[in-house]
């Protein structure tokens, strides 16, 4: 599949934003978060800002952005519609939480918990937009929603860790949760790659054309004289050696680097620990961008069988 940068950016930063909002909402009203209005402004501003920027980026991939509002009416059957509804609905309790925290100095725990209860399903719905597509076998499996949720929580935890260190309110317990989320996220990503590498072909040129009984089917002549929409969007190919290199880069930036830096935050003095925490979050987001690019580039749509692919 064509790795459109707008969609890659959307899934990465919106996942981080909703992951951060989930953790802030879950911990709101507890001693784990400072009750400072400035911290509330930074935490909620960053989470809602990233979520909003991601949603805005997603519209750049639409052929007719002015019709995007119609997607909200199909929530009964469309994961895209459900994601749209939840992504906006979460702003209501998050806004109430922000107003109480920033203007009245009172953290409304119930608003935070409701925000968390809507933020996590939003990430899940984003993942199911892809996992529900049967014509793309590398997406149509349980590893996809698992990885989206794990990476959203991991990047959200890294952002929260950096905010706490910047506000001189380190939480060792959260650091260990962040470390655990990095390890589990890496295992989930490795599990997904192992699954798609070992999965058998769901469809072949023979089964797609119904001519398997006659022998091996191959493309004799291209169906078009020039590249069309399907070939641009669903016929993207990446060499195995390049994919392997990018996988190693993703593992290093998204998991290994942030893990080492997060461990250092437990050992270093406050000012240096804050720098390490911020660097861990930035490096992780860069790694997830690469991982998300691969997620699209390595996927094959079954329509590719009619354009020369042997199997999908």
205-214 pLDDT, tens digit per residue, is: 777 777 777 7
Do the domain assignments include residue 182? yes
pLDDT at 62 over 70: no
Task: Evaluate whether residue 94 is within a structural domain.
Answer: yes
The region of weakest confidence among 44-53, 162-171, 237-246, 262-271 is: 237-246
**Residue 179: pLDDT over 70:** yes
Alpha-carbon torsion angle 205, 208, 214, 220, nearest 10:
-50
Query: pTM score, two decimals?
Result: 0.90
pLDDT classification of 204: cutoffs 50, 70, 90 = confident
Tell me: pLDDT of 169 over 80.
yes
In a domain, 59, yes or no: yes
In a domain, 36, yes or no: yes
At residue 92 the predicted structure's pLDDT band, cuts being 50, 70 and 90, is very high
Q: Are 124 and 149 in contact (CB under 8 A)?
A: yes
pLDDT of residue 215: 78
Within a domain: 68: yes
Do the domain assignments include residue 137? yes
pLDDT for 120: 96
Q: What percent of the chain has pLDDT over 70?
A: 88
pLDDT at 3 over 80: no
Domain count, the chain: 1
The answer on pLDDT for 236 being more than 80 is: no
Domain hosting residue 176, numbered range: 5-218+226-307
CATH of the domain at 56: 1.20.1630
**CA 54 to CA 15: how far, in whole Å?**
8
- Measured CA to CA, the distance from residue 247 to residue 62 in angstroms comes to 28
* Structural domain includes residue 280: yes
In a domain, 312, yes or no: no
């Amino acid at each position: 599949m064509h790795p459109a940068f707008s969609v890659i950016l959307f899934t990465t930063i919106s996942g981080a934003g909703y992951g951060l909002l989930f953790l802030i909402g879950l911990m709101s009203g507890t001693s784990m978060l400072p009750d400072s209005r400035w911290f509330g402004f930074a935490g909620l501003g960053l989470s809602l800002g990233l979520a909003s920027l991601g949603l805005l980026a997603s519209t750049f991939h639409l052929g007719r952005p002015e019709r995007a509002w119609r997607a909200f009416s199909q929530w009964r059957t469309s994961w895209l519609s459900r994601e749209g509804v939840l992504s906006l609905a979460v702003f209501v309790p998050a806004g109430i939480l922000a107003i109480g925290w920033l203007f009245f100095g009172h953290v409304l725990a119930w608003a935070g918990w409701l925000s968390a209860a809507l933020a996590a399903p939003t990430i899940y719905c984003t993942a199911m937009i892809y996992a529900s597509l049967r014509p793309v076998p590398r997406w149509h499996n349980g590893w996809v929603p698992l990885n989206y949720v794990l990476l959203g929580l991991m990047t959200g935890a890294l952002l929260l860790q950096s905010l706490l260190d910047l506000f001189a309110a380190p939480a060792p317990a959260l650091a260990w949760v962040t470390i655990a989320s990095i390890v589990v996220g890496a295992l989930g990503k490795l599990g997904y790659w192992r699954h798609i590498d070992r999965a058998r072909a769901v469809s072949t040129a023979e089964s797609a054309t119904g001519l398997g009984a006659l022998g091996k089917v191959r493309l004799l002549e291209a169906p078009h004289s020039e590249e069309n929409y399907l070939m641009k969007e669903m016929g993207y190919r990446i060499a195995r050696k390049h994919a392997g290199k990018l996988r190693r880069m993703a593992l290093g930036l998204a998991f290994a680097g942030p893990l080492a830096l997060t461990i250092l935050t437990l050992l270093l003095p406050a000012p240096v620990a804050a720098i390490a925490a911020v660097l861990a979050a930035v490096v992780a987001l860069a790694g997830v961008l690469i991982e998300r690019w691969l997620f699209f580039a390595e996927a094959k749509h079954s329509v590719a069988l009619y354009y020369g692919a042997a199997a999908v």
